[in-house]
Amino acid sequence: MNHFGIDLGGTKIEGVVVSPSRPGRALCRLRVATGGSRGYRHVIRQVGRLVRMLERGSGRRRPSWIGFATPGAIDPATGILKNSNTTCLNGRALGADLAAALGVEVRIANDANCFALAEATLGAGRGRGVVLGLILGTGCGAGIVVDGRVLGGLHGIAGEWGHNPLRGETAPCYCGRRGCVETVISGPALERHYRLRTGRRLPLPDIAARAASGERAAARTLRRLRDRFAEAIAAVLNILDPDAVVIGGGVGNLELLYSEATRRAVLGHLFNGEIRTEFLRPLLGDSAGVFGAAMLSASSRSAGRPGGNPRARRSRSG
């Protein structure tokens, strides 16, 4: 039986069909617009549309299980989605509603968890025991994989390093708090920092190019990224001590994060005299989340437990 994975993003919903024997290779891969501004029910309908497209495109019938990567997390106690920056999904029994709309059981995990699972199993972190998968882009998320198993946590928030506070930072965050990591080193936060100092609105790759050419404001923006990233990630390393950190997302494309200067900055906050943790670029790129979702489907029977709807199960990784 082939497996279906769905990555429910803020602007697009991506789906993939994979064979269990070759989980990193897509038999069919398609996208539709999320349309979150049109409301929750529209998003559910778009998922149904995508699943039908995958059936036609692959020539395979939908399986009895489908895995979903979503922004935010499912509360293990209630089955309700929370903490999503696609706000129309918050407060909804997403798993139960998807199961009812699709006529299948579903597995749901946070999109960063799915990214981490795919990269730890199929990608850059393959062969390492403990892998931290970061998504540094519009937001700052993470997933933790230990011996091929994603950690979800009692409240479903394991890996949410982006909402730890940074010393001296006060910018408001959508979560209702101030000074979160996400308000400092996400792509939009860095672009905002540069704009406030120069009056110029530029995307982060252009800021990085200006820094390379010697522009002082751009260079200071990247130093801010290096120093605050080092402080933020060292706090996680002090607790988790992973073998590898795989960095996805647009900010993760910057060479700076893999430099010796950044490693020295991390070491300055680490409770150890050396740092052997690998900082790795992802091998699966923007494919990781959707392939991770398909892997949730593949392992669902051994990892799941009943949710609020008897036809919907949630992953312990979400």
* pLDDT for res 296: 86
Q: Residue 308 — pLDDT band, cuts 50, 70, 90? A: very low
* pLDDT for res 317: 36
Please tell us whether the domain made up of 126-282 is placed in CATH 3.40.800.10. no
* pLDDT for res 316: 35
* pLDDT for res 297: 60
18 membership: H or E segment, kind and range: strand 12-19
Q: Is the pLDDT of residue 130 over 70?
A: yes
Domain ranges of the chain: 3-114+286-315, 126-282
* pLDDT for res 59: 94
Instruction: Domain 3-114+286-315: give its CATH code.
Output: 3.30.420.40
CA distance readout (Å), 222 to 123, 208, 214, 262: 27, 7, 12, 11
Q: Residue 1 — pLDDT band, cuts 50, 70, 90? A: confident
Q: Which of 1-5, 48-52, 245-249, 286-290 has the lowest mean pLDDT?
A: 286-290
**Rounded mean pLDDT of 252-276?**
97
Is 20:122 a contact under the CB 8 Å cutoff? Answer: no
pTM: 0.86
pLDDT digits 0-9 by tens, 13-33: 999 999 888 888 899 999 999
pLDDT digits 0-9 by tens, 178-198: 999 999 999 999 999 999 999
Is 105:189 a contact under the CB 8 Å cutoff? Answer: no
Q: Residue 11 — pLDDT band, cuts 50, 70, 90? A: confident
248, β-bridge pairs: 135
* pLDDT for res 16: 95
Please name the residues in contact with 90: beta carbons below 8 A apart, sequence gap of 6 or more: 72, 81, 82, 83, 84
* pLDDT for res 179: 98
Q: Do domains 3-114+286-315 and 126-282 have the same CATH topology?
A: yes
Q: Is 274 exposed, middle or buried (0-12, 13-18, 19+ CB in 10 A)?
A: exposed
**Rounded mean pLDDT of 277-296?**
91
**Rounded mean pLDDT of 160-188?**
95
Task: Please state, in angstroms and rounded to a whole number, the distance separating the CA atoms of residues 187 and 249.
Answer: 9
